[in-house]
Amino acid sequence: MLELLIGLLGAGTPYLLATLGEVYAERSGVMNLGLEGIISLGAFTGFAVFYQTGSIPLAMLLSGVVGLLLSLVHAVVSISFRANQIVSGIALSMLGLGLSGFFGRSYVGLKAPPTPFHGLDPIMIFALVLSFVLWVVMFRTRVGLMVRATGENPSAADAQGIDVYKVRYACVAFGGFLGGMAGAYLSTIYTPMWIEGLSAGRGWICIALVILASWNPLRAIIASYIFGGIEILQFRLQVLNLGVRPEFYLMLPYLSAMAVLLVFSRETMRKKWAFPAALAQPYSREEA
C-alpha cells in the first residue's frame, strides 16, 4: 500500500508543479499553451545538468530558469504585443519541443547517475507544501488579490493602481519556472533518462487540470493525483493482460483530459468554477 501511495505521489508531482504554475498564469489572465514545450525543455535541461553534475537541486533550479526564460517569450508576445495567446502558446510549445529534441540528441540513451532519493523524495513534499503556500498567497494576501483582479477585470485593477503588465509578466514567468521544474522531475527522479517526447503530452493535460482544479492551488493537488493515478493505472492494466490492446491504455490520460475539457467548456460550468473573466484577453491601457 505504501509503495502504491509513493508511486501515486511520484506520478502526480510533475502534474502538480506545472498545474500550480499555470493556475497563477491563468488567474492573471494569461493562458500559456506552451506548457508542453516548457516541460520538455525543462526535462532535457534537468537530465543534462544531472548527468554532468550529479546534482538534482541544481538540475531543478536551472530547469526552472530555462522554463522561466522560455515563458517570457510568450509573455512578450501576448502581453506587450497583445498577440493571440492561443497562437503564441502553441508556437511556444513547438519551439520548446524542437529545442529539446535538437539539443538532446547526444543525450539519448545515456545512463543517468544514481538517484539519491528512494521512496518519498523532497520534491514531492515541496510540491505539496507549495500548494498550500500558493493557496494562502492567492486568497489571503494582497498579492493574490492583485493577481485575481488582473484576471477578472484588468481595467478596474489598473484604475486601482495595480500594474497589470507587471503582474501578468510575473505570473507567466512563475508558471514557466514551475513548468521547467516539472520537466526536470520527470527526467531526473520519476524516469531518470532522456528521450525525445519524454513530456508525453503532460503539458496539455495540465491545461485541463487547471480547469478541473477551478484555478485553485489546493484543488490542484486532487486533480494532479487523480491523473497521476490514471497514469499508474494504465501500466497496471497492461500487466494484467486483459486482452485489450496496449494503445488503449496509453490513451487513458488523454481521453480523461478531453472529457474534462468537454464537461467544463459549458458556460454554466465556466461561471460555477470561477473561470477568470479576462482569461486570454489582451489588455491595453490606452484602449481601456
Q: Are 71 and 125 in contact (CB under 8 A)?
A: no
Residue predicted with more confidence, 171 or 214: 171
* 273: pLDDT strictly greater than 80: no
* CATH 3.20.20.70 for domain 2-112+119-272: no
Which of 38-47, 50-59, 159-168, 231-240 shows the lowest mean pLDDT across its residues?
231-240
Residue predicted with more confidence, 282 or 240: 282
Band of residue 237 on the pLDDT scale cut at 50, 70, 90: low
Band of residue 265 on the pLDDT scale cut at 50, 70, 90: low
CA distances from 177 to 45, 183, 209 (A): 13, 10, 18
Q: What confidence score (pLDDT) does residue 256 get?
A: 73
- In this prediction, residues 148-158 reach a mean pLDDT of 96
Which of 48-57, 116-125, 150-159 shows the lowest mean pLDDT across its residues?
116-125
Residue 283's identity, in one-letter code, is: Y
The residue assigned the cell 496496449 is 246
Residue 152's identity, in one-letter code, is: E
Q: What confidence score (pLDDT) does residue 227 get?
A: 87
Residue predicted with more confidence, 277 or 275: 277
- The structure's pTM equals 0.93
Q: What confidence score (pLDDT) does residue 192 get?
A: 93
- In this prediction, residues 156-181 reach a mean pLDDT of 97
Q: What confidence score (pLDDT) does residue 288 get?
A: 58
Band of residue 229 on the pLDDT scale cut at 50, 70, 90: confident
What values do phi and psi take at 51, rounded to 5?
Answer: -65, -40
Q: How does pLDDT run across 1-13, given as a tens digit for each residue?
A: 777 788 889 999 9
Q: What confidence score (pLDDT) does residue 243 get?
A: 62
Q: What confidence score (pLDDT) does residue 268 get?
A: 46
Task: Tally helices (H) and strands (E) across the chain.
Answer: 12, 0
Q: What confidence score (pLDDT) does residue 271 get?
A: 57
Q: How does pLDDT run across 100-122, given as a tens digit for each residue?
A: 999 999 999 898 888 888 778 99
Q: What confidence score (pLDDT) does residue 233 get?
A: 77
- In this prediction, residues 29-35 reach a mean pLDDT of 97
The DSSP code for 113 is P
Q: What confidence score (pLDDT) does residue 115 get?
A: 86
What residue segments make up the domains of the chain, in order of their start? Answer: 2-112+119-272
Joined grid coordinates for residue 163: 500594474
Average pLDDT taken over every residue of the chain: 90
Going by C-beta distance under 8 Å and a sequence separation of 6 or more, which residues neighbour residue 73?
Answer: 34, 92, 95
Candidates 116, 106, 104; CA nearest to 55 is 116
Q: How does pLDDT run across 251-263, given as a tens digit for each residue?
A: 767 677 777 667 6
